[in-house]
Chain A
């Protein structure tokens, strides 16, 4: 029983991290209808920022998290202006845009692979090897910190979207771009801002992830599938759906990993995706698909 609770807590913490990782992705899809396949490599970039800041200057990854976020915010702006600005104007889903993000992912992967080689790295602040012990329950500190910070950030994102004027504008643009524009929302700017925020979230989650998982540039391919599955599960652009999906699946994956072996825990996400496509293709919270 205590084992189960332990696994549950681990699952929740992991869920928080995955929720943070996927939330930027969902946000970008909601506003710009872009499936940003380069999102996971942005997370890796954020992880590298935290790693090097720790290795060279001893800065704790939790402290360098806002730095990584700010850095990726700027990267997001540059990427948007260079690559996506023309596509975003029409903001309807297009395969070409997905392929664009795929190409960007390759470029960003190649850049860090060349610069830093493909060795596995992990940021190791002092608490990385600690664990919290509550009676019989044993939770690694790294997972706990990452999980809590992630949940706070996701909550913050949610509050931003629900209670600020810009948050309203973002939600409005997601739900009805034309109407938003007619009511005075500068949808081009909102697209840029959302992309930058999404990138910043990627950077922040990268900093957290850097001390939870060991990472290397090519790991983003694995995360693409996991995070994308979460987005589809949640209903393509519905933040609530993605977050709920992240927690539910991470908990299930944690149990699978414990009782069947670590290799099988990632498969949980993919199998869940196929299951959802079979039973409810529009995802948990999505709108019914035309023609089905």
Chain B
């Protein structure tokens, strides 16, 4: 499959602090769910922030479909087709479901088209359609996450990046969230997600990346990574058979 997004040797950090990403490289393949796992402080969130333009890159390259996107403003990167959903609620609490969806399409110029896409999305998510005029803050955690995901569909992005989509949700709701993620993938959207819960992330993904100490350590089909003993010991909490 063609490589949609390429990150080459990126070095980045916060303020004048040390480099959190220390020469990180990944390749994101189109049409797949790619999951990044790794311990705290490894640089997973930082990586997503550099891709979407929220954090300046000190050195390195980021290519989208072969085009350089380093140095672009976040809203320009959004227009190019990369949508980032940050950790924790990304919604507007005092806006209704419909208004939140409308904000999702803020960069669209055609108001009529925007309304059509909103209706479209509401069709696919009956739970949201029922609550179209309900304030986002009054919905349950799972419903809010559903709204967050649905909102990404409004701009028809090429890539959606999710920072810990299962955070703070009950296991049954997490399954529903991943169902939606798979739905997005089936629509042709490429998903790049971070999961602290490595096991769950890899189980639901097509491709896996292991990040540690600001560098990419392992990369491959999710199932293979799950099965690898070294990774099981270091990152999945299984004791090695030799011990």
Contacts and interface: CB of A to CB of B under 8 A. Distances in A.
Direct contact of A and B (CB under 8 A): yes
Interface of A: 165, 168-169, 171-172, 175-176, 178-186
Nearest to B79: A184
A178 B103 contact: no
Contacts of B92: 171-172, 175-176, 179-180
Classify chain B's interface size.
20 to 34
Interface of B: 52, 54, 74-75, 78-79, 84-86, 89-95, 99, 102-104, 106-107
Nearest to A240: B94
Contacts of A179: 86, 90-92
A185 B75 contact: yes
B207 to A, nearest CB: 24
Given A168-B99, A178-B86, A179-B86, A185 B94 contact: no
B106 A182 contact: no
A186 B93 contact: no
A184 B106 contact: yes
Contact of B78 (A165, A169, A178, A183): A183
Given A182-B84, A183-B104, 8 more contacts: A168-B102, A175-B94, A178-B86, A179-B91, A182-B74, A183-B103, A183-B107, A184-B75
Given A181-B74, A182-B74, A176 B90 contact: yes
10 contacts: A172-B106, A176-B93, A179-B86, A179-B91, A182-B78, A182-B86, A182-B90, A184-B74, A184-B79, A184-B107
B103 A168 contact: yes
A178 B94 CA distance: 15
Contacts of B91: 176, 179
B95 A171 contact: yes
A71 to B, nearest CB: 31
A162 to B, nearest CB: 9
Nearest to B92: A175
B78 A184 contact: yes
A178 B58 CA distance: 22
A175 B95 contact: yes
Contacts of A176: 89-93
A139 B43 CA distance: 67
A218 B78 CA distance: 49
Contacts of A183: 78, 103-104, 106-107
Contacts of B106: 165, 168-169, 172, 183-185
A182 B135 CA distance: 20
A181 to B, nearest CB: 6
B75 A180 contact: no
A292 to B, nearest CB: 19
Given A168-B99, A172-B95, A182 B52 contact: yes
